[in-house]
Structure 1
Amino acid sequence: MDQPVRWGVTVDCADPRVVARFWALALGYREPPPPEGQPTWDAWFDAHGVPPDERDDATYLADPSGRLPTLSFLKVPEPKTTKNRLHLDVKVSGGRDVPQERREAAIRAKVAELVAAGGRTLQEYTGPRGLDHVVLADPEGNELCVV
């Protein structure tokens, strides 16, 4: 039987640290510790000849459980100019079988937390029962939905 391929998501951005902090809050991810044998990431960079001026070119986040995809944030010179064709859903409401009042409270709480972290609300979608999801932009405009 074939094993699933390990995969990750990479986000191009102007400021990897700012965008990574936002997504760490959104998803509960963390910057992983330096590789075994290295006391800090700077020690690892030194050991691998990474110049100091290149150390902010990327940031990496991982699911603390080690089961979910990794996230990488890479510095690029060009700004985001168009709508994402792929986005992440941050699923906090528990699904449509959860009472609407609880769903909406969970969605609104996460949206408030992410807006305070530099995100901005783009649009709210309501259905017959009330709030269904909110489309946000991260600090550099990448879209996500809080569901």
Structure 2
Amino acid sequence: MPVTFQLTVDCADPDLLARFWAEALHYVVAPPPEGHASWDDFYRSLGVPEEELGEGSDRIVDPHGEGPMVWFQVVPELKSLKNRLHLDVNASGGRVHAIDVRRVRVEAEAERLVALGATRVRTNAPEGMDQYAVAMLDPEGNEFDVF
């Protein structure tokens, strides 16, 4: 039987990343548990110290219940190395579509994400390969690809 999981992203500003990734992934910001005005209120009820709390939203969910929850966890240290795990945002529709169609779709999605606060790093379109992707950074510098 498969297990469920959530993806956890260490960050400095959970609200910034939650809102960015909710838009990027077509997710929604997760509402706090019933009986709590915010996630921070919920965490306080569990005894989490104030210095470990963020401000604002810190998790997102797939509105269709198909994808994993993503939690943006406040950590004191800044990102300093390349991610060992990153997200791939599939905007092309896959190889059932011609490379020209996929390129247009990837570029449109990359432009949308730049407008949301992402940074474009480079295009990955090796000569002679049926591949087109754009490497990007989220607002805190975490790497991800649009393909």
| Fold similarity call, TM over 0.5 | yes
Q: Within the alignment, does 1:41 sit opposite 2:38 as a pair? A: yes
Residues 84-136 of structure 1 show CA distances to partners (whole Å, capped at 9, x for unaligned) of 11111100101122022221111111101111111101110113377610010
Paired position in structure 1 for 2:75: 76
Percent identity between matched residues is 42
Paired position in structure 2 for 1:27: 25
Paired position in structure 2 for 1:97: 96
RMSD after superposition: 2.7
Shift of 1:51: 7.6
In structure 2, C-alpha distance between the alignment counterparts of 1:6 and 1:46, rounded to whole Å? 22
- Judged with a 3 Å threshold, the aligned counterparts in structure 2 of structure 1 residues 87 and 30 are, in CA distance, closer, same or farther, namely same
Paired position in structure 2 for 1:145: 145
Q: Calculate the TM-score normalised by the size of structure 2.
A: 0.84
In structure 2, C-alpha distance between the alignment counterparts of 1:26 and 1:5, rounded to whole Å? 25
In structure 1, C-alpha distance between the alignment counterparts of 2:70 and 2:61, rounded to whole Å? 6
Shift of 1:45: 3.4
- How many residues end up aligned between the 2 structures? 144
Q: Calculate the TM-score normalised by the size of structure 1.
A: 0.84
Gaps of 5+ in 2: none
In structure 1, C-alpha distance between the alignment counterparts of 2:71 and 2:7, rounded to whole Å? 6
One-letter amino acid of the structure 1 residue matched with residue 32 of structure 2: P
Between 1:127-136 and 1:39-48, the stretch displaced more is: 39-48
Q: Which runs of 4+ in 1 moved over 6 A?
A: 49-53
Gaps of 5+ in 1: none
Are 1:58 and 1:72, in contact at CA under 8 Å, matched by a contact in 2? no
Shift of 1:46: 9.0
Paired position in structure 2 for 1:86: 85
